[in-house]
Amino acid sequence: MKNISKLLISTFAALFIFSGSANAHVTVKPSSSAPEAWETYTLKVPVEKETATTKVTLKIPKGITFESYQPVPGWKVTTEGNKEGHVKTVTWEATDEGIAAGQFQQFLFVAQNPKEETNVAWDAFQYYEDGEIVEWSGDESSNLPHSVTEISVASKANTGSEGHSHAEKSDHAASNSADSSKDSAKAEDDNNETLIITLAGISLILSIVALLAAIRKSKK
């Protein structure tokens, strides 16, 4: 029975560690959008350590045209551009305490998608108060994956979204930024809940199998 108890404890510990790490990624949503659309993107920054996040830098992918950002109290925003004047990096830096352990912060910005269908990768750099820098720049199978947005005509057809003119995009972003943020957060929460339920089910099955095996062994 002692061995069974150890197995159950290890299984459930792995379950909660895995589900916690699945929620801790820095992400950019939405994960799909239409070519040439003026999109309101949401950068979500959770804290996975016991120290605060004080700065985050986002690299703007090739083909994406950064236009504007939504101000967030307690954070200053700086941008760096290339010689053509296109913004290549955006940095949000805390003017107060930053994002504490167990919290997350969302930063919204408006950008225009490229004309062609493609996948764009969002590399992000998360700065902690203790000096550590976490680089979210790996592929989807890595421990520190970057977010990817699929730019496709299919996304436009499925959502009914249309590109907006330069004059319209600011009003469109202002009226839809809150809804976009809520929808993105809800979709991610739903995915995380499904993952946790699935892992819990697998853990329960493994525990039952181990228990039955131990009972059979004790009867021999």
Check residue 83 and give its pLDDT: 86
Query: pLDDT per residue over 119-135, tens digit each?
Result: 999 999 999 999 999 99
Q: Is 189 helix (H, G, I), strand (E, B) or coil?
A: helix
The band of 55, judged by pLDDT with boundaries at 50, 70 and 90, is very high
The candidate with the shortest Cα–Cα distance to 14, out of 206, 145, 213, is 206
Q: pLDDT digit string (tens) for 128-156? A: 999 999 999 999 899 999 999 999 998 76
Residues 16-36: what's their mean pLDDT? 75
List the single range of 42-46, 49-53, 162-166 with lowest mean pLDDT.
Answer: 162-166
Interatomic CA distance for residues 115 and 35, integer angstroms: 5
Please give the full DSSP string across 88-137, using - where no structure is assigned: EEEEEEESSS-B-TT-EEEEEEEEEPPSS-EEEEE-EEEEETTS-EEEE-
Q: Measured between alpha carbons, how far is 142 from 38 in angstroms, rounded to an integer?
A: 30
DSSP-based three-state secondary structure for 82:
coil
Confidence of residue 24 (pLDDT cuts 50, 70, 90): confident
Give the residue from 127, 146, 137, 124 showing the smallest Cα distance to 49. 127
- For 170-207, the pLDDT digits (tens) are 454 444 444 544 454 455 555 555 555 555 567 667 66
The number of CA neighbours under 13 Å toward the Cβ of 74 is 11
Q: How far apart are CA 128 and CA 49, in angstroms?
A: 9
pTM: 0.67
Q: Residue 75: which of 107, 27, 42, 39 has the closest Cα?
A: 107
